Amino acid sequence: MGLSDTQDRIASACAAAGREASEVKLIAVSKVQPLERVEAVLGEGHRLFGENRVQEAAKKWPGLRDRFEGVTVHLIGPLQTNKARQAMALFDAIHSVDRPKLARTLARLAQEMGHCPDLFIQVNTGEEEQKAGVLPEDTDAFVENCRALDLPVKGLMCIPPVDETPSLHFALLAKMARRNGLAGLSMGMSSDFEEAIALGATHVRVGSAVFGARDYG
């Protein structure tokens, strides 16, 4: 566990897959973690972080950005349209674009604000009722729709069902990204980032393996 151990594991997984380590970005998922742990990882030189809630990130990151140079923060959790403006100001990338209404809101705000974070489209590869994301069958049309709105779509993102082999979902996501000409693949968490790297992940979202278990107490 820890940052350097996770970096070593990423490097080994890249080597095993015949990929350059620089092809895979480690998003250290800092949600719910005590500030000391986040500061420690910043102190070790890491600069790319992930948060799943706009409110929590808004409390945490402006202060940390003042103290540490070159910080990048990605939103990896669901985004309500009424928080889109705040999210666009706070985050360098949004991994959870998952419906036409949100895409239209982001496009309107991008026009108005003159900039837009990098966007990933979340795909509900397991077609789970309770999970966010566009269905696999709707993904190509949604990518098209986002491109027509001039949104900077960089890739696809998925969170596989907990009780299924993640590799099947990673392979499906990779196939969908390829056929849509998208280079980015946001997939892989603490329990499966090595498999995700083997299947082409460009962004792994790793929380507990970097920081330790989250205490929701």
Characterize the bridge pairing of strands 72-75 and 48-51. parallel
| Pick 83 or 104: Cβ nearer ligand PLP | 83
By the 10 Å C-beta count (0-12 exposed, 13-18 middle, 19+ buried), 45 is classed as: exposed
| Pick 9 or 31: Cβ nearer ligand PLP | 31
Q: How far is the CB of 83 from ligand PLP (least distance, A)?
A: 16
How far is 20 from 175, CA to CA, in rounded Å? 20
Which of 77, 136, 166, 200 touches ligand PLP (CB under 6 A)? Answer: 77
| Residue 9 lies near ligand PLP (rule: CB under 6 A) | no
Which of 102, 109, 176, 206 touches ligand PLP (CB under 6 A)? Answer: 206
By the 10 Å C-beta count (0-12 exposed, 13-18 middle, 19+ buried), 63 is classed as: exposed
Q: How far is the CB of 126 from ligand PLP (least distance, A)?
A: 14
How far is 217 from 192, CA to CA, in rounded Å? 25
Q: What is the dihedral of CA 171, 11, 75, 137, to 10 degrees?
A: -10
β-sheet bridge partners, residue 186: 157, 203
Q: How far is the CB of 29 from ligand PLP (least distance, A)?
A: 4
| Residue 76 lies near ligand PLP (rule: CB under 6 A) | yes
| Pick 142 or 211: Cβ nearer ligand PLP | 211
- Which tokens in the block code for residue 158? 């998925």
How far is 156 from 150, CA to CA, in rounded Å? 17
Which of 109, 134, 159, 201 touches ligand PLP (CB under 6 A)? Answer: 159
| Residue 52 lies near ligand PLP (rule: CB under 6 A) | yes
| Residue 7 lies near ligand PLP (rule: CB under 6 A) | no
Which of 72, 81, 180, 208 touches ligand PLP (CB under 6 A)? Answer: 208
Q: How far is the CB of 148 from ligand PLP (least distance, A)?
A: 27
| Residue 29 lies near ligand PLP (rule: CB under 6 A) | yes
- Between the two ends of the chain, the Cα-to-Cα distance in Å is 21
- Which tokens in the block code for residue 72? 């990048």
Phi, psi of 79 (to 5 degrees): -125, 120
| Footprint on this chain of ligand PLP (rule: CB under 6 A) | 29, 31, 52, 76-77, 159, 189-191, 205-209
